[in-house]
Chain A
Amino acid sequence: MTRVHDMGGRFGDGPVKVDPETAPVFKHDWHARALAVTLAAGALGQWSLDASRHSRERLSPRDYMRFSYFEKWIAALADMLVENGVVSRDELAAGEARAAAPHDLRARRLEAAAVDPALRRGGPAARPGPAPRFAPGDRVRLRRARHAEIPGGHTRLPGYAGGQAATVLRCHGAHVFPDSNAHGLGEAPQPLYTVVLRAADLWLAPEHPDDEVTLDAFEPYLEALS
């Protein structure tokens, strides 16, 4: 089993509520604040992007489903701040700080003048790493969708694709391996591939025999298929 966020292919959801392109970027002011405070807190360097994703996935299924998008961000941020000792549970409950943060952490505060360069720099995930075992055109099988390293742990292999045959489309070189990095176990770079799957293999009633789904798969997700 995976977690509630892993919803690709799920049945039962209604029509997409399409908002026009002219809709404001942030529907409410607090959406914008939620995004900004999450980015600014991330800049303190106390957790990785992978850990941040996993903290949203670790929301209880009930919270994940009842929270709107940015409510998930805020809840996950609060959880990470406490888990990493940046903010205490007392401070959260009181809504105010009990003490200043340690000097070395305050030194990492993202200043307004540093925002633009930091956003332009981003956080590239490409790393030196092992040479790829597979090449474009190779047939592979995706391993069973399950948590790779840790029960309930983070993985980027969606459940709908687990166990399916696929063809390697592109190799992107080695990238940080989220299944390890999300848990503080190191970046452990792995070759990253785009693989393509036939809709007819994935779904009982595919819409069209030639339709396809691609996903980006780390090498530990793949085994050779002769």
Chain B
Amino acid sequence: MQHDHHDHDHAHAVLPPDPALRVRALETILTQKGLVDPAALDEIIDTYAHRVGPQEGARVVARAWADPAFRAALLDDAGPVLDDMGLTGRQGEHVTVVENTPERHNVIVCTLCSCYPWPLLGIPPAWYKSDEYRARVVREPRRVLAEFGLELPAEQAVRVWDSTAEMRYLVLPMRPAGTEGWNEADLARLVTRDSMVGTGRPRAADEVSAP
């Protein structure tokens, strides 16, 4: 059992101070001990640098905009719906999708660490993990959102979702006006990462080339 005596016994202090050298030292030791496969590290990095990112969440949002039955199922219980799309996995084992309306705007945070729906949005951006965002967005969401350029009207209440367990959250933003009849691929081009965290809105129809 781990007690707080570890608080005064931090092994990391013997590592070199430069963070790049610290990582190198751990990687070297673990590789030499036969516990880490360098090719596996490259595979993990390639996954999150190039393959898994906000384009996955954008596909989900676009389909929800285009298909009312899909949208209803997604909001009711996202798990099976995302499973079918192959979009569950590490740091996205349990997902709830919350819908923005003219009456309510949703925004996601993890005040205790950095919980974020990896299979849908990838690795969180630096601001999401920052002290400024974590400390402030629960208490003054409107001021924080204004720093992202998002001004909310007084008619719209804000609900801040603090991700304090293994449930991950995705915001379903409101569909931009003037997109009637657009197909899913064109709708997906309107969906920004920040609109799915709740710190932004989707692009307007005239911000992308017309389908």
Contacts and interface: CB of A to CB of B under 8 A. Distances in A.
Interface of A: 5-19, 21, 23-30, 32-37, 39-41, 44, 51, 53-54, 56, 58-60, 63, 68-71, 74-79, 81-83, 86-87, 89, 91-93, 95-97, 99-101, 105-106, 108-112, 114-116, 118-126, 150-152, 156-158, 160, 170, 172, 175-176, 178, 182-185, 192, 194, 196, 199, 202-203, 207-208, 210-218
Contacts of A77: 26
A54 B28 CA distance: 25
Given A36-B41, A44-B35, A79-B12, A18 B148 contact: yes
B15 A152 contact: no
A75 B89 CA distance: 26
Contact of B129 (A15, A69, A216): A69
Interface of B: 1-4, 6-7, 10-12, 14-16, 19-20, 22-30, 32-37, 39-45, 47-49, 52-54, 86, 88-94, 96, 109, 111-114, 119, 122-123, 125-127, 129-136, 138-144, 147-148, 154, 157-167, 192-194, 199
29 contacts: A8-B111, A25-B122, A28-B20, A29-B20, A30-B23, A36-B44, A54-B2, A59-B10, A60-B7, A70-B23, A74-B26, A75-B12, A82-B11, A92-B11, A97-B33, A99-B33, A111-B39, A115-B47, A116-B43, A119-B44, A122-B93, A151-B4, A152-B3, A156-B165, A158-B162, A194-B96, A202-B139, A203-B139, A217-B165
Given A111-B40, A124-B166, A207-B143, 10 more contacts: A33-B41, A36-B40, A39-B44, A74-B19, A75-B22, A101-B34, A111-B37, A119-B44, A213-B160, A215-B164
A84 B52 CA distance: 31
Nearest to B200: A21
Contacts of A99: 33
8 pairs of A and B residues whose beta carbons are closest in the complex: A8-B111, A97-B32, A152-B4, A216-B165, A210-B157, A82-B11, A125-B166, A75-B12
A212 B160 contact: yes
Given A13-B135, A121-B89, A175 B165 contact: yes
A119 B47 contact: yes
A78 to B, nearest CB: 4
Given A16-B127, A124-B94, A183-B1, A115 B135 contact: no
Nearest to A156: B164
A218 B127 CA distance: 28
Interface centre among A18, A54, A122, A203 (most CB of B within 10 A): A18
B12 A87 contact: no
Nearest to A78: B12
A5 to B, nearest CB: 6
Interface centre among B41, B42, B123 (most CB of A within 10 A): B41
A56 to B, nearest CB: 7
Contacts of B163: 216
Nearest to A125: B166
Given A10-B135, A17-B126, A96-B32, A74 B160 contact: no
A17 to B, nearest CB: 6
Contacts of A54: 2
Given A87-B33, A126-B94, A160 B112 contact: no
Question: In this complex, which of B19, B96, B143 has the most chain A Cβ atoms within 10 angstroms of its Cβ?
Answer: B19
A172 B78 CA distance: 12
Nearest to B7: A58
A157 to B, nearest CB: 7
A30 B28 contact: no
A50 to B, nearest CB: 10
B49 A26 contact: yes
B90 A123 contact: yes
A159 to B, nearest CB: 9
A51 B167 CA distance: 18
Nearest to B51: A116
